[in-house]
Amino acid sequence: IGGWLPNVLKKKVFICRGLRAFDKVYVETSTLKKKVEAFGINQVVLLPNFKKIEIVKEKAISLGFNDCGAAKVEQLPTSKFDEWIKKGYNANMNYLNNYHSQRFNPCELLEGAKTVFSFIISYNTENQIEQYTHKIASYAQGFDYHKVIKNKLYILLEELKALYPDFQAKICVDTAPVMEKHWAVKAGLGWIGKNTCFISEKWGSKVFLAEIICNYESDYTQEVRNQCGKCRKCIKSSLE
């Protein structure tokens, strides 16, 4: 099919390859469907409310994000979290007792939610304030990341809505009741280490997480293997 379609169309269709030939071509709009069919391809399937992860990822990276993945919305189990709260491990973080149902079901944050797009952006940069004698956490050495990341996501959201006017979404950056690490893992961006921190194979653990919960489906990314193995460096470091 590569020789049949012009480059402008190759970037906008989702092709399912069979053993001998291309079985089906999936497109996102009826206009694209007609254009592809004009090349003599009969099995063209229209995917309503479908957003290719490549489109979202390309736009996200252009805005400064380091990676992006997609996970299908599902009701999350609550037993481990409930036991953690029951034991008082949240200390004085009483806000974790709030919005319990929303925290584990994105559909309660956005009606008709189908996909969680998860984003990471690294803050693993050199110390910018070495002239000071006191120490400041690396994540706090720049502008308020809540505002910076949220602004980027609103720009991304406007670009997506320009392409798909019925695209509905909720933006989440740290403060929303969302299990961020879980969705980042489900989206194939990394895994949770033995110190319970999220770890990206390429960007490490110094990353901010953010999400766009939306009413569109996507070609969901696969989870990656937990690569901690027998390593216990994070635990040893935290005890020193």
- DSSP reduced 3-state for 136: coil
Judge whether 23 counts as a catalytic residue. Answer: no
Q: What is the pLDDT confidence band of residue 43, given thresholds at 50, 70 and 90?
A: confident
CA atoms of 174 and 233, how far apart (whole Å):
26
Given this model, what pLDDT does residue 20 score? Answer: 38
Question: pTM for this one?
Answer: 0.80
> 111 pLDDT exceeds 60?
yes
Burial class of residue 224 in the structure, from the number of CB atoms within 10 Å of its CB (0-12 exposed, 13-18 middle, 19+ buried)? middle
161-165 mean pLDDT: 86
Q: CB within 8 A of 17, min separation 6: which ones?
A: 23
> 91 pLDDT exceeds 90?
yes
Q: CB within 8 A of 112, min separation 6: which ones?
A: 168, 215
Q: What is the pLDDT confidence band of residue 145, given thresholds at 50, 70 and 90?
A: very high
Burial class of residue 99 in the structure, from the number of CB atoms within 10 Å of its CB (0-12 exposed, 13-18 middle, 19+ buried)? middle
Percentage of the chain beyond pLDDT 90 is 59
Given this model, what pLDDT does residue 163 score? Answer: 84
Q: What is the pLDDT confidence band of residue 191, given thresholds at 50, 70 and 90?
A: very high
CA atoms of 36 and 47, how far apart (whole Å):
14
Please, where are the H alpha helices in 63-142? 79-86, 100-104
Beta bridge mates, 208: 121
Please provide the average confidence, as pLDDT, over all residues in the chain: 85
CA angle 200, 201, 206 (to 5 degrees): 40
Residue with tokens 């690569």: 227
Residue with tokens 């505002």: 147
- Going through 73-136 in order, the beta strands assigned E by DSSP cover 115-122
> 5 pLDDT exceeds 60?
no
Strand 22-27 relative to strand 44-46: parallel, antiparallel, unpaired? parallel
Q: Which candidate in 23, 67, 82, 174 is catalytic?
A: 174
Beta bridge mates, 214: 115, 169
> 75 pLDDT exceeds 60?
yes
Neighbouring CB atoms inside 10 A of 32's CB total 17
Beta bridge mates, 170: 213
> 85 pLDDT exceeds 60?
yes
